[in-house]
Chains A and B, each alone.
Chain A
Amino acid sequence: MAIVQVENFSFAYPGEGRGASFDMGAAGADAGRVAAHDTEQTSGWALSNVSFSVEEGAFCVLVGPTGCGKTTLLRALKPELAPAGEKRGCMRVLGRAVLEDGVAVAGLTARESAEQIGFVMQDPAAQIVCDTVWHELAFGLENLGMGQDEMRRRIAEVAHFFGIEPVMRAATETLSGGQKQLVNLAAVLALRPRLLLLDEPTAQLDPNAQRQFIFMLARVNRELGTTVVMATHAPEDAEPYVTQRVELGYVPPLGERAAVRVPLAVGQEPTPSTPSTPSTPSTPSTPSTPSTPALLVKDAFFRYGRRDPWVLRGLSVRVSPGTVHAFVGGNGCGKTTLLHLMAGVLKPQDGRVLSPHADRQVLMPQDPKALLVCDTVAEELAEWRARCGYTAEDERRVCARFGLDGLENRHPYDLSGGQQQKLALAKLLLADPQLLFLDEPTKGLDASACADAAHMVRALAAEGRTVVLVTHDLDFAYAVADEVSMLFDGELACTEPSATFFARNLVYRPHDRSRFFGALAACEGRQP
């Protein structure tokens, strides 16, 4: 018997705007975008006439771009998280009805739902409740009023299964993103659910942690027989384990790397070009070394405390003006530290950082929320008007350039991740910086949003601005960077023009085929 049955499910959020979507909780961000962008769908419906069923023991992926309603659909399957709004159709979960002809019915008690349906969300940090790993694993069991001995057994089992014994006593805040997400999965599995629902669980993780998480999830599915339904915009990672696919929206096809000319030419920018964007010829792929660098780091040493190990030891690098310089490297190799050092947030303990543009620079944080403070998109863009001396006309132009028209009255938190990032970049660009630092600019973005970001970055360089970015995403670095540096052991292992760099690497290489390249090719196709 099918464990999940969805028949002609349609869903619309009650009204639009901040007030309504705020009530929906975390689904708000995802759903807001749906409401704004579903002109091609039946008017007003975030999801319309979705039907599918999942057999017990299956590994099912719900595929679609950000904002296609994946989150809404998943949450509707778990009664206590079901979003408020207008519903049609029927839903049965674990053989019990939760929705009949658009009316929610209590087929599952809260306790049954907690025990049998596990739910893992996107943000690894936000869903952790307790301060230590063992308490986090115990949290769900405590809620059900389980006895001591049974709790011990369950916690011991999941800790063993996931190999997290070494961090059992650690504070959850000290874990890496990948470890946090594994703890979240383990905490849910301690309840021994029959059905596991996951909403973009790997979107915030680096590529290594993504692979590890998917691998563990596949083990849960195969060895424990738990049914998995996972929403994702990058289904290829789970491809070897997936038994069923449900497509909820357009996902760019896989594209060949060879088909993409790098660095991207600026004329291909998908957003309409504006008068403020002078169309200078694209920068040559191997920039000639000019007399004055845009940024120079000489023999920089840095550590966070006097007893701590050195993070950077004698690192030197030269960034040429008007180019895109990417820094790649493993987890915790000091990429973000280096970025903060170059931006002057941290000072080297030895060595120098020479930055002629130190008074005309901006830093784009990993999470755009660190930059967003106002109640609407329009206010956000206007915030620095007085101190930077731009006009309302400039704001409208930048809005159009980044495809934010029509969103002016939305709350920044109601935008999708990609839109939030565009807003943050738009806000920073209004300050007219010469030097931009980007920290993981593609984190959490789907393939189309990544392609947009790639075009934006190239356009910045074409305007003569210098872009310094750190990233895990080698495909992205391949497509946008003029020069790439590999950071290892506190030094730069090598700095080379992008093409040479990737040609000579064995491990640090972009994919041969990926959806990101597919999205880039699609953009190219759209251009005349």
Chain B
Amino acid sequence: MFETYHPAVAFAYLACCIAVAMAALQPVYVVLSLAGALACACVTRGPGAAARSLAWALPLVALVTVVNPLFSASGSTEIMRLGSRAVYAESLFYGACSGGMLAAVLVWFTSYAACMTSENSMALFGNVAPVLVTMVSQVLRLIPQFVSRGRKIAAVQDAASSAAPRGRREQARDRMRTVSVLMGWGMEDGLVRSDAMRARGYGCGARRTSYRRFRVKAADAAVLACVLALAAVNAPLVALACGQYAFYPTLSVLVVWWGYLPYAALMAVPVVLQAKEAWQWRSSK
């Protein structure tokens, strides 16, 4: 869904959502951010994957709910006693809220991982640190190469039964050997690679630029502005709501309040964008 937008849009949106979700320990905000996280996961990873994340999110909420009273024996409404410890309703409710918050943050992060591939992250931070991006790109290239080579070397060792290791010590030495073969081979490659880099002008004195695969379009700017505006409006409202709400000794009473609306709007951004995309697709056919 964020594919048609600049990576900065996805990053700004997800970073704002994760930040607010982590800060707002208040029942209404927790419910909203859990719902928003699941909706976003539906859109970015598909309904199936989102449903599967419920399979671990709900037990997580239940676990934190049950465990919290064992650690914090505060509150005023006693519902049962375990030995000498009292279990209070407020404590259970606090556990449910913090469990929900944790689950919401984790679900947000699954969306983040789906949207911000290594390439997108690099495109985004490349302007800040171009040298770093080149280095990361090279490392990302080397890791799979080392892994596949390691497998090849191990295969040759395993297959050489005529020279099979006698006992544990030789076996351990053979495994160490894999590492030293990899190192030697890698260094040899490094010489070739540094030649290939110099041959194409690396360090020729010119100031390096970095190729940007993504351009910022008007639509990107518009969505980005919306997201940032919503985030800016929400920040004081969240602080206010959380400051007024107390779990202990008794739960504050929740009231209907207009201040929740901007947060609901922020949560609805992916769904709205998805709906717009669906509508455009249908009307263009």
Query: Is A129 a contact partner of B156 (Cβ separation < 8 A)?
Result: no
Query: Is B192 a contact partner of A147 (Cβ separation < 8 A)?
Result: no
Of the candidates A139, A184, A360, which one forms a contact with B161 in the assembled complex, judged by CB atoms under 8 Å apart? A360
Query: Is B196 a contact partner of A142 (Cβ separation < 8 A)?
Result: no
- Chain A residues with CB under 8 Å of B141's CB are 128-131, 171-173
Q: What is the minimal beta-carbon distance from B7 to any residue of chain A, in angstroms?
A: 14
Query: Is A132 a contact partner of B161 (Cβ separation < 8 A)?
Result: no
- Chain B residues with CB under 8 Å of A173's CB are 141, 144-145, 148
A138–B163 CA distance with the chains assembled, in angstroms: 47
Of the candidates B184, B193, B206, which one forms a contact with A129 in the assembled complex, judged by CB atoms under 8 Å apart? B193
Of the candidates A113, A127, A172, which one forms a contact with B192 in the assembled complex, judged by CB atoms under 8 Å apart? A127
On whether A362 and B160 interact (CB within 8 A), knowing A135-B137, A172-B141, the answer reads yes
Interface string of A173-187 (1 = CB under 8 A from B): 100000000001001
Interface string of A359-401 (1 = CB under 8 A from B): 1111101010111110000000000100110000000000000
A/B interface sample: 26 pairs, CB < 8 A? A78-B199, A81-B195, A109-B204, A111-B204, A114-B204, A115-B201, A121-B196, A127-B195, A129-B137, A129-B196, A129-B197, A131-B141, A135-B211, A142-B209, A146-B209, A187-B200, A188-B200, A191-B201, A343-B155, A344-B159, A363-B159, A365-B155, A370-B152, A370-B153, A370-B185, A433-B160
Q: What is the minimal beta-carbon distance from B200 to any residue of chain A, in angstroms?
A: 4
On whether A26 and B195 interact (CB within 8 A), knowing A140-B200, A142-B211, A173-B145, the answer reads yes
- Chain A residues with CB under 8 Å of B197's CB are 129, 139, 143
Of the candidates A118, A146, A343, which one forms a contact with B159 in the assembled complex, judged by CB atoms under 8 Å apart? A343
On whether A372 and B181 interact (CB within 8 A), knowing A114-B199, A147-B209, A359-B164, the answer reads yes
Query: Is residue A291 within 8 Å, beta carbon to beta carbon, of the partner chain?
Result: no
Query: Is B189 a contact partner of A362 (Cβ separation < 8 A)?
Result: no
On whether A143 and B162 interact (CB within 8 A), knowing A130-B138, A187-B200, the answer reads no
- Chain A residues with CB under 8 Å of B189's CB are 123, 125-126
Query: Is A363 a contact partner of B156 (Cβ separation < 8 A)?
Result: yes
Query: Is B159 a contact partner of A126 (Cβ separation < 8 A)?
Result: no
On whether A111 and B184 interact (CB within 8 A), knowing A144-B201, A387-B166, the answer reads no
Query: Is residue B62 within 8 Å, beta carbon to beta carbon, of the partner chain?
Result: no
- Chain B residues with CB under 8 Å of A26's CB are 188, 191-192, 195
Interface string of A327-341 (1 = CB under 8 A from B): 000000000000010
Query: Is B199 a contact partner of A81 (Cβ separation < 8 A)?
Result: yes
A127–B205 CA distance with the chains assembled, in angstroms: 21
Query: Is residue B210 within 8 Å, beta carbon to beta carbon, of the partner chain?
Result: yes
Query: Is A110 a contact partner of B205 (Cβ separation < 8 A)?
Result: yes
- A: residues with CB less than 8 A from B are 25-26, 78, 80-81, 109-111, 113-115, 118-119, 121, 123, 125-132, 134-135, 138-148, 151-152, 155, 169, 171-173, 184, 187-188, 191, 340, 343-345, 358-363, 365, 367, 369-373, 384, 387-388, 413, 428, 431-433, 437
Interface string of B138-156 (1 = CB under 8 A from A): 1011001100110011011
A365–B153 CA distance with the chains assembled, in angstroms: 8
Query: Is A361 a contact partner of B209 (Cβ separation < 8 A)?
Result: no
Q: What is the minimal beta-carbon distance from B119 to any residue of chain A, in angstroms?
A: 7
CB nearest to B204 among chain A residues: A110
CB nearest to A433 among chain B residues: B162
Query: Is residue B180 within 8 Å, beta carbon to beta carbon, of the partner chain?
Result: yes
A114–B200 CA distance with the chains assembled, in angstroms: 5
Of the candidates B153, B161, B200, which one forms a contact with A143 in the assembled complex, judged by CB atoms under 8 Å apart? B200
- Chain B residues with CB under 8 Å of A365's CB are 152-153, 155-156
- Chain A residues with CB under 8 Å of B165's CB are 387
Query: Is A344 a contact partner of B160 (Cβ separation < 8 A)?
Result: no
A525–B198 CA distance with the chains assembled, in angstroms: 46
- Chain B residues with CB under 8 Å of A184's CB are 196
CB nearest to A432 among chain B residues: B162
A151–B210 CA distance with the chains assembled, in angstroms: 10
Query: Is B204 a contact partner of A144 (Cβ separation < 8 A)?
Result: yes
Q: What is the minimal beta-carbon distance from B204 to any residue of chain A, in angstroms?
A: 4
Task: With a 10 A CB-CB cut-off, give which of B141, B161, B162, B170 has the most chain A CB atoms.
Answer: B162
Query: Is residue B125 within 8 Å, beta carbon to beta carbon, of the partner chain?
Result: no
- Chain B residues with CB under 8 Å of A191's CB are 200-201
Query: Is A145 a contact partner of B160 (Cβ separation < 8 A)?
Result: no
Task: With a 10 A CB-CB cut-off, give which of A126, A128, A132 has the most chain B CB atoms.
Answer: A126
- Interface hits, B224-281 → A, CB 8 Å: none
**Nearest 5 pairs between A and B by C-beta?**
A114-B201, A363-B159, A140-B200, A138-B211, A431-B162
- Chain B residues with CB under 8 Å of A110's CB are 201, 203-205
A173–B142 CA distance with the chains assembled, in angstroms: 9
Q: What is the minimal beta-carbon distance from B122 to any residue of chain A, in angstroms?
A: 9
- Chain A residues with CB under 8 Å of B163's CB are 362, 384, 387-388, 428, 431
CB nearest to A130 among chain B residues: B137
- Chain A residues with CB under 8 Å of B166's CB are 387
